[in-house]
Structure 1
């Protein structure tokens, strides 16, 4: 069966004329138990450890229309417009940020078109580029992981259709300077996709750039709002782009129950902001504790820390799993080295468990 899958993939790659890069998520708690026989905590996927507002469960209990196709709930887009301070007519929904990005590729990218991706960054941009047979132009980031504006602009050609900018960036955690991104937006004739999945954890955002006709800003309910399992994201874009987005988007992309739960989250912003503040406080504590232990960690504006492990990341992550903690090996992210590790910020007791496991690992090196 595995041989057949490999054969089919190779046939598809030959037909499309481009290698397909599969997106691989981190190890799950269930997989850790099955493979290593340990009860583990997961600090690998940048999830909100506190979950969504309790009001979400009221929506779940009161919902019974599982047999009918979903429709967009007008109240959700109005609530989003109020939350963001933008026109409702410029908001679209998708099955998470990933679903939004898939529709954006349908809108802009044909086989052989070019996509510019500053690396290291979220690897799903490369996955989609390979699926849509695009030619990827990777642009190295600066030493502080900020985007290199000149290098990006020098990489633009008449075949460039999309430029990706993730802020705060995954996996490095840094936010981009508004003026840097603005300079790119104003200098190119292609679309600029700004991924703000972690915007709620940052001190500043790039939302004002959505006023430009060539900018799409994507956000999600998966992170700060704690709805990762329901797969609901959204984007803000020019009204003309909205028409094309709706034309290429699959029918019924977001379930009614996901929309109702998202609406409950927007109705309880105090809960979300309280979660964010607790996570940010723990993020800073973890940063200090890692520094005390001689582990290189980089300042973050997200709900995770990018670190350099003292041994190869693959070995480091495996040793932590054996000690009951799952973190993310980032050595396979383009632009990352073999010591790159990302640690999601959990609850205080989860972070303490990580630090204990780390201390034990370091003591046995």
Structure 2
């Protein structure tokens, strides 16, 4: 028997995750100076983390020899204040929201289980489900990237455990409506997971609806608006009955002690959050106005650019040679070959992006 036969077939069938390119990778490949490269391919906060978060990390560094709280209680308390929901409906997670997804899949999915995914969207929903023996069922979004509510409902079977919807959606940046979400949760038997990773940049959130529906889960992260991508902090807002079960399946101590204090401090820094939001609002408008291709309206900290009739890979290659890292969306299921996702940067970075597209 080959050693590879020891690996579960569910894992062998998974296509590797495709991350955004790193500065080091591009500097080496194109013989560029790293300090001349701008990284706008992973939807990070270019302003960096909250100063309060940095101060909290330094102040607690000497305690890393001690295990953190098993249930991330300090962070859960800070999240509760931030979102206005009770602690018995909140779970902290690491690494990032991906950890929340893995915990839910471990809790819910067994061979034969199905999950419904509205595509194109974040690929980790599929990866996590497959890794746990689940079968993804894909429902393509409409041409304008709005969700197809009727088709999503029709895709649910007795085997469906979860439906995944990202709002604002990655990579398209658009949000679904409250009417659409209510129609789904009221007419399906499965759990509905709404990924609100980019909600701080949007004009709506569905957190309060968790009080009304016992099959709705909201996932969030501190990687985007709060600038803590390197600490990998996520959280979930879910019905109290589900939290009880989730805590049985979730990994204990999965949020580090440094992440607990940094995350709690970041959530309290309203000034830094407002600066980040304002930078994104101004940058979105600038890129939409001046990139010389079709740019979709966005509620996130990125915009989606359609460069058809040319291919995304050719435009991305052109930009990389200028030291501009953006995201070729070809690897997103059902995204086609002409879409590019661009993270909002500083005013100077955004100008460089516009010049790069304009010179193609």
Under TM normalisation by the shorter chain, which class is it? over 0.9
Aligned-partner Cα distance in 1 for 2:233–2:4: 29
Which residue number in structure 2 is paired with residue 355 of structure 1? 354
Aligned-partner Cα distance in 1 for 2:156–2:58: 51
Which residue number in structure 2 is paired with residue 133 of structure 1? 133
Which residue number in structure 1 is paired with residue 326 of structure 2? 327
The answer to whether the 8 Å contact 2:193/2:219 transfers is yes
What's the TM-score, normalizing by structure 2? Answer: 0.94
How far off its partner does 1:8 sit?
5.9
Which residue number in structure 2 is paired with residue 178 of structure 1? 178
Which residue number in structure 1 is paired with residue 17 of structure 2? 23
3-state SS, counterpart of residue 234 of structure 1? strand
Aligned-partner Cα distance in 1 for 2:157–2:59: 53
Which residue number in structure 1 is paired with residue 307 of structure 2? 309
Aligned-partner Cα distance in 1 for 2:40–2:5: 34
Q: CA RMSD in A?
A: 1.6
Deviation per CA, 1:53-93, whole angstroms, max 9, x where unpaired? 11122112212112121115544322211211111111101
Aligned-partner Cα distance in 1 for 2:180–2:154: 14
Counterparts in 2 of 1:304 and 1:349: CA distance versus 1, 3 Å: same
How far off its partner does 1:21 sit?
2.5
Aligned-partner Cα distance in 2 for 1:259–1:186: 35
Which residue number in structure 1 is paired with residue 59 of structure 2? 62
Aligned-partner Cα distance in 2 for 1:233–1:242: 15
The answer to whether the 8 Å contact 1:165/1:195 transfers is yes
Aligned-partner Cα distance in 2 for 1:8–1:142: 44
Aligned residue-pair number? 351
The answer to whether the 8 Å contact 1:21/1:126 transfers is no
3-state SS, counterpart of residue 184 of structure 1? helix
Counterparts in 2 of 1:334 and 1:10: CA distance versus 1, 3 Å: farther
Which is further off, 182-191 or 65-74?
65-74
Matched, 1:79 2:78: yes
Q: What aligned pairs does 1:153-232 form with structure 2 within 5 A after superposition? A: 153-211=153-211, 212-232=213-233
What's the TM-score, normalizing by structure 1? Answer: 0.92
The answer to whether the 8 Å contact 1:137/1:155 transfers is yes
The answer to whether the 8 Å contact 1:168/1:175 transfers is yes
How far off its partner does 1:270 sit?
2.2
3-state SS, counterpart of residue 162 of structure 2? strand
Which residue number in structure 2 is paired with residue 4 of structure 1? none
Deviation per CA, 1:171-213, whole angstroms, max 9, x where unpaired? 0000001110111101111111110000000011111221211
Aligned-partner Cα distance in 1 for 2:207–2:105: 21
How far off its partner does 1:22 sit?
2.0
Dislocated runs of 4+, deviation >4 Å: 7-11
Aligned-partner Cα distance in 2 for 1:147–1:198: 17
3-state SS, counterpart of residue 138 of structure 2? strand
Aligned-partner Cα distance in 2 for 1:73–1:180: 33
Aligned-partner Cα distance in 1 for 2:63–2:152: 48
